[in-house]
Structure 1
Amino acid sequence: MDTEANGVGLEWSNTGAVLMLVCTLIFYYWHQRPIHFPPGPRGFPLIGVLPYLGKYPERTMQIWSRKYGPVMSVRVGSEDWVVMGSQESIYQSFVKGGNVFSGRPFVKVANEVTESKGLAMIDFNPTWKTQRKFGNVTLRGFGVGKKSLEERIIEEVEAVKMNILSKEGKPFDITDILSNAIMNVICNITAGQRFEYDDQFFIQIRRHLWFMDPDRTAAFSAMVFVPLLCHIPPYRKKYEQIKQDTKEMMGLFQQLVDQQRKTFDKNNLRDFIDAFILENENGTDESFTDRQLVHYVRELFKAGTETSTGTLRWAMLCLIHYPGAQEKIRKEIFDVLGNSTFPSMSDRNAMPYTSAFIQEVFRFRTLAPLGVPHKTTDTVNFANYIIPKGTTILSNLWAVHNDPTVWNNPRQFKPERHIDDKGKYIQSNHVIPFSVGPRHCLGEQLARMEIFIFLVSMVQKFEFLPDPNKTDLPELDDGVNGVAFVPYPFKLVAKEI
Structure 2
Amino acid sequence: MVDYGPSWRDHRRFALMTLRNFGLGKNSMEERIHGEIKHIINTLEKNIGKILSPQVMFHNAASNIICQVLFGTRYEYDDEFIREIVRCVRENSKLANGPWAMLYDSFPMIHNLPLPFTKAFRNVETSKKLVIKLVNEHKKTRVAGEPRDFVDCYLDELDKRGSDGSSFSEEQLIIYSLDLHFAGTDTTSNTLLTGFLYLMTNPHIQERCQQEIDRVLVGKDRVGFDDRHNMPYMQAVTHEVQRIANTVPLSVFHCTTKDTELMGYSIPKGTIVIPNLTSVLNEEGQWKFPHEFNPENFLNDQGEFVKPEAFMPFSAGPRMCLGEGLARMELFLIMVTLLRKFKFIWPEDAGEPDYTPVYGITQTPKPYHMKVQLRAPHQ
Aligned partner of 2:279: which letter?
A: A
Other structure's SS at 2:90 match: coil
- Per the alignment, residue 402 of structure 1 pairs with 282
Are 1:276 and 2:154 counterparts?
yes
Matches of 2:184 and 2:286, distance apart in 1: 29
Amino acid across the alignment from 2:298: H
| 2:136 match | 258
- Alignment of 1:460 with 2:340, yes or no, is yes
**Cα shift at 1:233:** 10
- The whole-number CA distance in structure 2 between the counterparts of 1:333 and 1:203 is 33
Contact 2:236 2:296 in 1 (8 A): yes
Code of the residue aligned with 2:291 in structure 1: it is R
Secondary structure in 1 matching 2:274: strand
What's 1:469 paired with? 349
Alignment-derived partner of residue 496 in structure 1: 374
Query: 2:138 touches 2:152 (CA, 8 Å); kept in 1?
Result: yes
Q: Distance in 1 between matches of 2:92 and 2:331?
A: 19
Letter in 2 for 1:239: F
Residues 1:437 and 2:317 are matched in the alignment: yes
Alignment check: 8 A CA contact 2:289 2:297 kept: no
**Mapping for residues 287-366 of structure 1, pairs under 5 Å:** 287-338=167-218, 341-366=221-246
Structure-1 separation of matches of 2:319 and 2:182: 17
SS in 2 for 1:395: coil
Q: Identify the residue that residue 98 of structure 1 maps to in structure 2.
A: none
Query: Using the alignment, how far apart are the partners of 1:301 and 1:492 within structure 2?
Result: 27
Q: Are 1:377 and 1:389, in contact at CA under 8 Å, matched by a contact in 2?
A: yes
What is the distance in 1 between the residues matched to 2:362 and 2:45? 29
CA distance in 2, matches of 1:239, 1:229: 13
Tell me if 1:389 matches 2:252: no
User: What residue number does 2:98 align with?
Assistant: 219
Q: Distance in 2 between matches of 1:396 and 1:449?
A: 25
Superposed CA offset, 1:262-307 (max 9, x none): 1111232111111000000111662110001011111111121000
Once the two structures are TM-superposed, the CA of residue 468 in structure 1 deviates from its matched residue by 2.5
From 484, 489, 492, the counterpart of 2:362: 484
Q: Shift of the alpha carbon at 1:201?
A: 2.0
Q: Please say if residues 223 and 230 of structure 1, whose CA atoms lie closer than 8 Å, have aligned partners that are also in contact.
A: no
In the alignment, the residues of structure 1 paired with residue 310 and residue 91 of structure 2 have an alpha-carbon distance, to the nearest angstrom, of 26
Q: How far did residue 192 of structure 1 move?
A: 1.1
- Encode CA deviations 1:151-176: one digit per residue, 9 max, x unaligned: 01100011100011112321111111
- For 1:252 and 1:184, the matched residues in 2 are separated by 15
Distance 1:226 1:143, change over 3 A: same
- Aligned partner of 1:402: which letter? N
- The residue that corresponds to 1:31 in the other structure is none
Per the alignment, in what secondary structure is the counterpart of residue 116 of structure 2? helix
Distance 1:234 1:170 in 2: 46
Amino acid at match of 1:143: G
Superposed displacement of residue 231, structure 1: 5.2
1:236-257 CA distances to partner (integer Å, 9 max, x unpaired)?
6232111110011000011111
User: How big is each residue's C-alpha offset from its partner over 1:113-146, in whole Å with a ceiling of 9 and x where there is no partner?
Assistant: xxxxxxxxxx001111110000000001000011
**Pair 1:408–1:416, CA change in 2 (3 A):** closer
Amino acid in structure 2 at the alignment position of 1:269: P
Q: Secondary structure of 2:273's match?
A: strand
1:200 aligned residue (71, 75, 80):
80
Mapped partners of 1:315, 1:329: distance in 2: 12
Q: Which amino acid aligns with 1:436?
A: A
- The C-alpha deviation readout for 1:355-388, integer Å capped at 9, x for no partner, is 0011111212211112112122343333432112
Conserved? CA contact 1:211–1:483, under 8 Å? no
Take 1:340 and 1:323, find their aligned partners in 2: how far apart are those partners? Answer: 25
Residues 212 and 480 in structure 1, CA contact (< 8 A), matched pair in contact too: no
Q: Please tell me whether residue 419 in structure 1 is matched to residue 287 in structure 2.
A: no
Partner amino acid for 1:238?
P
SS at match of 2:345: strand
How far apart, in 1, do the equivalents of 2:48 and 2:334 lie? Answer: 20
Give the AA of the match of 1:261: K
Q: Structure 1: which amino acid aligns with 2:275?
A: S
* TM-score for both structures, normalised by structure 2: 0.93
Q: Secondary structure at the match of 2:344?
A: strand
In structure 1, give the amino acid aligned to 2:357: G
8 Å CA contact retained: 1:373, 1:394: yes
CA contact (8 A) 1:212 1:488 kept: no
Q: After the TM superposition, which residues 171-190 of structure 1 pair with which residues of structure 2 at under 5 Å, given as runs?
A: 171-190=51-70
330-339 vs 305-314, which moves further: 330-339
Match of 2:122 in 1: 244
> Cα–Cα, structure 1 residues 242 and 163, in superposed 2: closer, same or farther, change >3 Å?
same
Change (3 A) 1:206 1:339: farther
Conserved 8 A contact 1:229-1:236: no
Aligned length: 373
Aligned in 2, Cα 1:207/1:310: closer, same or farther, shift over 3 Å? same
- With over 3 angstroms needed to count, the CA separation of the structure-2 counterparts of 1:380 and 1:212, relative to structure 1, is closer
Contact 1:169–1:493 (Cα < 8 Å) also in 2: yes
Letter of the aligned partner of 1:344 in structure 2? G
Give the equivalent residue in structure 2 for 1:110.
none
Q: How far apart are the structure 1 equivalents of 2:143 and 2:341?
A: 41
Amino acid at match of 1:160: I
CA distances 1:176-203 after superposition (whole Å, capped 9, x unpaired): 1111111111111111111111112221
Where does 1:103-142 land on structure 2 (aligned, <5 Å)? 104-105=1-2, 123-142=3-22
C-alpha separation between the residues in 1 aligned to 2:91 and 2:188? 12
Q: Are the aligned partners of 2:96 and 2:120 in contact in 1 as well (CA < 8 Å)? A: no
Q: Using the alignment, how far apart are the partners of 1:172 and 1:339 within structure 2?
A: 31
Unmatched 5+ stretches in structure 2: none
2:173 partner amino acid: L
Question: Cα 1:406–1:388, aligned 2, differ >3 Å: closer, same or farther?
Answer: same
